[in-house]
A and B are shown apart, each in its own frame.
Chain A
Amino acid sequence: MNSAAKNSLIRKGSAASVVLLIVFLAAWQWGPGLLGIPSFIVPPLSMVYDEFFRMLHVNHLMTHTAITAAEVLAGFVIGSLLGAFIGYVLGMSPTAEFALSPYILALQIAPKVAFAPLFIMWMGFTVYPKILVAILIVFFPIMVNVLSAIRTVDPDLINLARAFKATRAQIFWKIEFPASMPPLFAGLRIGSTLAVVGVVVGELVGGNMGLGYLLSFGEGQANTPMVFVTILMLTLVGAVAYLAVIVIEQRVLHYLPTRAFGGV
């Protein structure tokens, strides 16, 4: 695509996006009234907007958001590091993978969020069970991506390094590790959104902190706008995490041919 065509696509695309946003917001504001949907089912935009400011003052919305964001960050970082580390270890040791694969498979199939009540029984109404659910749910996509990346490195590349008398460590750091970066980042993108899921489930199950708590609080009061505001804040937390991964990815994978608009 030449740059003129690209610019034209960006212009047209952005214009369409803005139009779509306006249509969506208008439909949200007036749609429920026109269709006769009661506001406790779908509150119009203005109600949600008002509720947002009410929650800022009354419900410490920002504190809860900050707690959730911190749990997401901790769970995502620890889960990613663990997942990548175990992925590299298993990728380099077929014996270890063979021995551990039934357990890994079982853990991977088990719905990770089902562990939330267990972790709360173990660790009480603290931030730790929430972080632990996030770690567990983030771990697998990253481990699986790294493992298959190491497995699928072109054997001729390994032989090239071996023919230069590379040590095992040199093969890892000069060939396998950099070759695993694109799949690692694909895993991190998935992980960044899953971390939010893990944390929210943990907060829903127990405790009086975080956006998950506000969700169940709003539900208990039949306060639909409050639930809407909380969902929006959760989406915001997830979006920030996802964008952070993309910003880092574009710095690390700068050598790849440019994909269309960052490939979000």
Chain B
Amino acid sequence: MAALVGRLGNGDLKGLIARNGIFIAFVVFMIAFGIGVDRFLTFQNLENVVKTTAIIGVIALGVTVVVLSGNLDLSVGSMLSFGTVMVVDLHDKIGPGAGILVMMIAVLALGAVNGLLIGFLRLNSLIVTLGMLSAIQGLTLIYSGGKNVDIDPSTQDTTWFRVFGRGEIAGVDMPIIIFFALAVVIGMIVAYTPYGRRVYAVGGNPTAAVFSGIRRNRVVFSTYLVSAFCVGIASIILGSRVMGSQNTVGQGYELLVLAGVILGGTSLLGGSGSILKTVIGVLILGFIQNGLLLLGYPFFAQWIVTWVVIILAVWLDVAAKRGRLLSPIA
């Protein structure tokens, strides 16, 4: 929030609106929906939104780190399918603890493949992770043999694995706690550690980072491990909540996640943005979707609305930077 408040300090009202357009739009939206839709501004509904957003949110934390370093990760959606199928399937076979461990190692290995190709071979991240998107989906289907997996119904209410998706502490749902706790940890790492500084430097100017003795390749590699780690955590939450998994459960998550990151205001060019911004971006996205559902629109309407919102967000962002809405050069 400090960054936001700091920016409010200078500039005229017009600039202020332009710079923080998305947040102002968000507040207006919340008020409008609060008045127009009965159940929108109830504690239960708000908690529900944050809870459903938690999975996208957790993944978005990792993707933010990747984007800050100047790259993309589009493989997170199918990686979520893979992780969830695996952790659910292994639950009954080798137990929840070992299952989580094996799944995390497998997911980190996939992240390492991304990292090797993009960090050390310096291949384009869009191509590599788009390819991984379909490769991992294939891998998931090979693993499951095409069948949906679930945890034995008789143990679903007794296994400690249920705590991640269904548990709560002091009345707060576990997915929310995990999301915010992870946001604080990764947020601190990004904002206050030497590692975070290196990520920003590599994203801001890779050449200058190398000239400053930063091992660019390693930094890029590591961001994909962070991203994969977050997907692993999200898989545990999702698997635990549903107690089963379809093979394509994560389909489309990559775009929702990226939408949240962009909506928050982290630059796709790298080097600027923050975890806090992503948290806000993801929540905005969640509330918009929830509002639409409460208004009775079918759930797929949100896909179109999400697109419109992202375009508006990106437009306002560049308009604020150049000081007018339309491009100065015809």
Partners in one complex: no
A interface, CB within 8 angstroms of B: none
